[in-house]
Amino acid sequence: NAGVTQTPKFQVLKTGQSMTLQCAQDMNHEYMSWYRQDPGMGLRLIHYSVGAGITDQGEVPNGYNVSRSTTEDFPLRLLSAAPSQTSVYFCASSYGQLGLYNEQFFGPGTRLTVL
């Protein structure tokens, strides 16, 4: 198993550009989520999904969109990048729709810089 994979590893954008961060898992996990990690603030939840076709907002959803067309993939879209979105982005997954009950597995992260 590859576990949770994320692409790209690094990305530099200019203000106003859009892009999609990719996340995939091969563990047949229903629950998937996106976090951002900023110095001194810990990880904060952006969006999550409890299964294909179902998504919901987390703590800091503004400026981001998600969709879940398959169990395996959960892409995160930045609509119009801003310097405040410079961060490290992590995707995570866990077993079952009640993913909160179960162990989370994390991808290696995408380091995004917005100029």
Query: How many residues interact with another protein (rule CB under 8 A)?
Result: 23
- State both tokens at 96: 């079952």
Q: Of 32, 34, 109, 112, which one interacts with another protein (CB under 8 A)?
A: 109
Give the span between the Cα atoms of 73 and 79, in whole angstroms. Answer: 19
How far CA 45 is from CA of 2, 36, 38, 82, 89, in Å, comes to: 23, 7, 12, 18, 10
Q: Of 21, 25, 29, 33, which one interacts with another protein (CB under 8 A)?
A: 33
Per CB under 8 A, 60 contacts another protein: no
Binding site for another protein (CB under 8 A): 33, 35, 40-45, 48, 58-59, 90, 92, 100-109
